[in-house]
Amino acid sequence: MPQPLPNLHHLELFYHVAKSGGITAAVRQMPYGIQQPAVSGQISQLEKELGVRLFQRRPFQLTPAGQELFEFAAPFFGGLAGVAERVAGKASRHLRLAAPATVVREHLPAVLSEVRAACPELELTVLDAGQQAVLELLEREELDLAVTELEGRPPVGSQCEVFLSLPLVLLLPPGCPVPQGGLSALVASQPLIRTPDETALSRSFARGLAKVGCHWPARISVNTMELVQAYVAGGFGVGLGVNLPGAELPEGVTMFPLPDFPELKIAALWRGKPGPIAKAVLEGLRRRAEALSGS
């Protein structure tokens, strides 16, 4: 029958006692508070578990078994603080971030460049991900920071900061005049191009349609807003988009506002307390959003 493994906490106490040369000295030097009787009792329990005497009490001296156990435990417990510092230091330099393709491509490079100038050792994991994937990664704590569309309240256990609230618009193809009948005329005469049903943009649009009593299923479904613009520019129909300040539309494409529709909120999400790098990225994104809003 195999020997039961010793209690790890008891083993740590023994390490401190052996290193300090006695229980009284160990209690004074240990990095956490514990009373001498508790240490003595737990060391006795360790000796009982192992079936050997580990040291003589007075005068203090390790037995051969105690010396062997100390030589085994010392490298681990003695090096633990250094390992913890290195791991914490690496974690503090590494940022795991996910955002939509547009944010990753057009906005993050400038923000991350500023952060890297202040922290040259910066390590990055940057993912191009849609809303559902972002929320799943955040739930599994595989991200430090996420930028995505926000509908309603943030997920339980998450904190958020809304950067932008973007009005929904329809993108009219080249040569398509603004109809006198407004939205109803477009619904009756034009194919709709939009992102899939499960995207936040399309869900917000569906709520707006329901509010005004319209039904307008997509004729063409594409997976990015960039593709919506491309197909609108190609004359395939009217596209669903947002009014992003400063963004350029393809030549000939014009916007038709939807003032009564819900706006699309773009927010940062995180769990727990953000580290220094995450805070710096948040500040950079905040400044960039303010610049966009003022443009």
| Domain identity same for 235 and 121 | no
Domain that holds residue 29: 8-90
Tell me the two tokens of residue 52.
Answer: 């050997």
243 in the same domain as 121: no
Q: What's at 227, amino acid-wise?
A: L
Average the pLDDT over 107-115 and give the result.
92
Taking residues 43-60, report their average pLDDT: 88
- Domain co-membership, 137 together with 186: no
Q: Do you know the residue count of the chain? A: 295
Pairwise CA distance, residues 268 & 144, whole Å: 10
Mean pLDDT of 108-121: 91
Same domain (yes/no): 182, 70? no
Q: Is the pLDDT of residue 112 over 70?
A: yes
Is 183 a domain residue?
A: yes
Q: How confident is the model at residue 162 (pLDDT cuts 50, 70, 90)?
A: very high
Q: Is the dihedral of CA 187, 191, 197, 203 positive or negative?
A: negative
How far is residue 241's CA from residue 180's CA, in Å, rounded to a whole number?
A: 21
158 shares a domain with 276: yes
Residue 98 lies in a domain: yes
In this prediction the pTM is: 0.67
pLDDT one-digit tens code per residue, 247-293: 889 999 999 999 999 999 999 999 888 888 899 999 999 999 998 87
177 shares a domain with 112: no
Could you read off the pLDDT of 226-255 as tens digits, one per residue?
A: 999 999 999 999 999 999 887 889 999 999
Average per-residue pLDDT for the chain? 89
Please check the confidence at residue 91 and state whether its pLDDT lies above 60.
no
In a domain, 3, yes or no: no
- CATH at 271: 3.40.190.10
The model's confidence at residue 127, banded by pLDDT at 50, 70 and 90, is: very high
User: How many structural domains comprise the chain?
Assistant: 3
Bridge partners, 55 (sequence order): 62
